[in-house]
């Protein structure tokens, strides 16, 4: 061993570590065992775990179970990490030992070694500050990992929700802007009765608002924490007052009103709050990708598609076709949504793999959940700004499709009868002559009667009773 390295020992033997490393031997073993993806824990998950360690040090000091000097050193180390320092020391791959022991020890070791430095001691002197006996005191990976999952999920969910509000607001504003633009509705991708372009966009806004509301309701279950359950939910080796103190401190540190789990054993066994959040994210992705698909279809063209709307041109679309502009922002949203839907399947499979007192697949669950929220949070403001806010209508094209639609025949059912209307629709489709022209040509209705019947406000439900 030289000055560039230090030696640490555990129950399996000894290892040399870089002298500058704040992680320790158990993290080193995890690096050797799981060099899988190069993906590290989400910053919010690191933050959540460090908050747990900070709260634990303070709680143990209050309970006179940890001396003030050690507690303050651990708290100071935690505060430094929370401020952004030592981010490069949380090195364990997201695909790691089941239940997350490797990551828990990564956090314990970093905080212990930094606390040692704060106390003027050397890294690795775990007799003075131990990753297990001090930083992890009264804790198990089995109760801290799911607690961190819930904390991180609430924190990131609270950042995602405003991006959905912004998107819904932009869609609703477009709905107002396009309120007077009549167009042909379409079902089965075939002509149907008329709607307004504004109605389509306000419906998109409502879909996003409802998806956001469903997401927000997940927070209630996520605010329930399993901390204090120890290894199997029995609270083994957990001192009186610890659980209550942890809930209180975590609530104060985060500003989130957490509460203790009603049944610690259930909270250790089941990851239902995670699957609920994941499935709601999947449902959101389904809504968003449906809307993106509609925007792509409505803007198709410019000459040979529907071309009822125009999406903002944000970059050239082809390396070989000059002048081509593609709906890239909507396409990107599609891909993000597909990824979120895939993440949900991983979470579902991991959740059902829980056995007896514990689900050991938690690391892959939280990685996929936080990844889903992260990519949505990052992209939705861009999609809102670079796509939705710049959408313009092509009212002439919309009107032409409306007037030429065989769906107009449906409106005439109560005036000329279903069979006569059906014959008009068939003739219009066969001859290319509009339904309106055929009615006038056959003297079935006067122009004045037809104008009244086909009044855009009346037929789209905007004119009142």
DSSP secondary structure letters along 270-306: --HHHHHHHHHHHHHHHHHHHHHHHHHHHT--SSSS-
Is residue 319 very low, low, confident or very high in pLDDT (cuts 50, 70, 90)?
A: low
Quick one: pLDDT at residue 1? 54
Average pLDDT of the segment spanning 248-252: 99
Quick one: pLDDT at residue 459? 84
**Sign, Cα dihedral of 440, 445, 447, 453:** negative
Quick one: pLDDT at residue 450? 86
Quick one: pLDDT at residue 38? 96
Name residue, tokens 């410019």: 302
- The more confident residue out of 317 and 194 is 194
Quick one: pLDDT at residue 464? 44
Same domain, 292 and 436: no
Is residue 457 very low, low, confident or very high in pLDDT (cuts 50, 70, 90)?
A: confident
pLDDT over 80 at 321, yes or no = no
CATH number of the domain bearing residue 96: 1.10.275.10
Q: Is residue 318 part of a domain?
A: yes
Q: Is residue 172 part of a domain?
A: yes
Q: Is residue 321 part of a domain?
A: yes
Structure tokens of 17? 């570590």
- Residue-wise pLDDT tens digits, 275-300: 999 999 999 999 999 999 999 999 99
Same domain, 162 and 123: no
Name the CA dihedral angle for 109, 112, 117, 123, rounded to a multiple of 10 degrees: -50
- Residue 267 makes CB contacts below 8 A (sequence gap 6+) with 146, 224, 225, 226, 229, 233, 261
pLDDT over 70 at 84, yes or no = yes
Same domain, 88 and 163: no
pLDDT over 50 at 274, yes or no = yes
- Residue-wise pLDDT tens digits, 10-22: 999 999 999 999 9
Indicate the burial class of 375 (C-beta count within 10 angstroms; 0-12, 13-18, 19 or more). middle
- With beta carbons less than 8 A apart as the criterion, state whether 104 and 49 touch: yes
- Residue-wise pLDDT tens digits, 159-190: 999 999 999 999 999 999 999 999 999 999 99
28, 318, 428, 434: which one is catalytic?
318
- Any catalytic annotation for residue 153? no
Same domain, 59 and 180: no
Q: Is residue 248 part of a domain?
A: no
Quick one: pLDDT at residue 256? 98
**Sign, Cα dihedral of 440, 443, 445, 448:** positive
Is residue 125 very low, low, confident or very high in pLDDT (cuts 50, 70, 90)?
A: very high
The mean predicted confidence, pLDDT, of the chain is: 94
Domain boundary among 103, 137, 171: 137
Same domain, 179 and 113: no
Same domain, 274 and 366: yes
Is residue 428 very low, low, confident or very high in pLDDT (cuts 50, 70, 90)?
A: confident
pLDDT over 70 at 130, yes or no = yes
The lowest-confidence range among 255-259, 354-358, 446-450 is: 446-450
- Residue-wise pLDDT tens digits, 375-415: 999 999 999 999 999 999 999 999 999 988 877 778 888 88
Closest Cα to residue 350, out of 149, 52, 155, 64? 149
Q: Is residue 126 part of a domain?
A: yes
Domain boundary among 137, 159, 188: 137
- With beta carbons less than 8 A apart as the criterion, state whether 411 and 453 touch: yes
Provide the pairing of β-strand 224-225 with 259-260.
parallel
Q: Is residue 465 part of a domain?
A: no
Domain boundary among 355, 371, 394: 394
Indicate the burial class of 32 (C-beta count within 10 angstroms; 0-12, 13-18, 19 or more). exposed
CATH number of the domain bearing residue 332: 1.20.200.10
Same domain, 213 and 333: yes
Same domain, 130 and 219: no
- The more confident residue out of 455 and 347 is 347
Is residue 323 very low, low, confident or very high in pLDDT (cuts 50, 70, 90)?
A: confident
Quick one: pLDDT at residue 322? 67
Half-sphere exposure of 274 (CA within 13 A, CB side): 36
**Sign, Cα dihedral of 458, 459, 464, 465:** positive
Name the CA dihedral angle for 150, 154, 160, 161, rounded to a multiple of 10 degrees: 130
Name residue, tokens 């020890």: 105
- Residue-wise pLDDT tens digits, 407-420: 777 888 888 888 88
Quick one: pLDDT at residue 317? 67
The Cα 156–Cα 138 span in angstroms is 27
Quick one: pLDDT at residue 2? 66
Closest Cα to residue 125, out of 114, 135, 113? 113
CATH number of the domain bearing residue 442: 1.10.40.30
Name residue, tokens 């507690």: 71
Quick one: pLDDT at residue 465? 35
pLDDT over 80 at 107, yes or no = yes
Domains contained in the chain, number: 3
pLDDT over 90 at 114, yes or no = yes
pLDDT over 90 at 463, yes or no = no
pLDDT over 70 at 138, yes or no = yes
Same domain, 46 and 152: no
Same domain, 169 and 127: no
- With beta carbons less than 8 A apart as the criterion, state whether 109 and 30 touch: no
- Residue-wise pLDDT tens digits, 441-454: 988 888 888 888 88
- Which structural domain, as residue segments, surrounds residue 435? 406-459
Alpha helix ranges (H) inside 309-417: 328-352, 362-386, 395-404, 408-411, 413-416
Q: Is residue 234 part of a domain?
A: no
Quick one: pLDDT at residue 411? 84
Average pLDDT of the segment spanning 92-104: 94
First to last CA, the chain: 88
The Cα 148–Cα 266 span in angstroms is 17
pLDDT over 70 at 64, yes or no = yes
Q: Is residue 252 part of a domain?
A: no
Same domain, 431 and 321: no
Same domain, 75 and 180: no
């Amino acid at each position: 061993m030289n000055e560039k390295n230090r030696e640490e020992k555990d129950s399996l033997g000894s290892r040399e570590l870089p002298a500058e490393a704040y992680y320790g031997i158990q993290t080193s073993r995890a690096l050797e065992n799981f060099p899988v993806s190069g993906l590290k824990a989400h910053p919010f998950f690191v933050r959540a775990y460090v908050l747990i360690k900070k709260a634990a040090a303070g709680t143990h000091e209050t309970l006179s179970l940890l001396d003030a000097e050690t507690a303050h050193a651990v708290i100071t180390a935690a505060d430094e990490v929370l401020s952004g320092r030592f981010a490069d020391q949380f090195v364990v791959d997201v695909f790691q030992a089941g239940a997350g022991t490797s990551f828990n020890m990564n956090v314990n070791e970093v905080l212990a070694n930094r606390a040692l430095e704060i106390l003027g001691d050397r890294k690795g002197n775990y007799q003075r500050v131990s990753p297990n006996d001090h930083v992890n005191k009264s804790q198990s990976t089995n109760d801290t990992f799911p607690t961190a999952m819930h904390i991180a999920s609430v924190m990131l969910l609270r950042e995602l929700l405003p991006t959905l509000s912004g998107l819904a607001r932009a869609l609703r504003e477009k709905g107002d802007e396009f309120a007077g633009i009549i167009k042909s509705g379409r079902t089965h991708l075939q002509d149907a009765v008329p709607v307004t372009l504004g109605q389509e966009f306000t419906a998109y806004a409502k879909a996003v608002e409802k998806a956001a509301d469903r997401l927000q309701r997940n927070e209630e279950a996520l605010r329930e924490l399993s901390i204090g359950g120890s290894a199997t939910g029995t609270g083994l080796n957990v001192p009186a007052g610890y659980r209550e103190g942890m809930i209180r401190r975590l609530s104060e540190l985060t500003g989130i009103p957490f509460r203790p789990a009603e049944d610690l054993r259930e909270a250790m066994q089941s990851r239902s709050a995670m699957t609920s959040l994941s499935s709601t994210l999947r449902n959101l992705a389904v809504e968003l990708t449906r809307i993106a698909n509609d925007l792509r279809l409505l803007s198709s063209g410019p000459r040979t598609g529907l071309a009822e709307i125009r999406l903002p041109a944000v970059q050239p679309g082809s390396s070989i076709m000059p002048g081509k502009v593609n709906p890239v922002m909507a396409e990107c949203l599609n891909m993000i949504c597909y990824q979120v839907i895939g993440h949900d399947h991983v979470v579902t499979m991991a959740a059902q793999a829980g056995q007896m007192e514990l689900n050991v697949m938690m690391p892959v669950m939280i990685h996929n959940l936080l990844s889903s929220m992260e990519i949505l949070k990052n992209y939705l403001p861009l999609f809102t700004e670079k796509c939705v806010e710049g959408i313009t209508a092509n009212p002439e094209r919309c009107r032409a499709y409306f007037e030429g639609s065989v769906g107009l025949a449906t409106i005439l059912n109560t005036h000329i009868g279903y069979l006569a209307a059906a014959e008009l629709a068939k003739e219009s489709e066969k001859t290319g002559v509009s339904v309106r022209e055929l009615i006038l040509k056959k003297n079935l209705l006067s122009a004045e009667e037809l104008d009244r019947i086909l009044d855009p406000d009346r037929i789209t439900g905007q004119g009142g009773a």
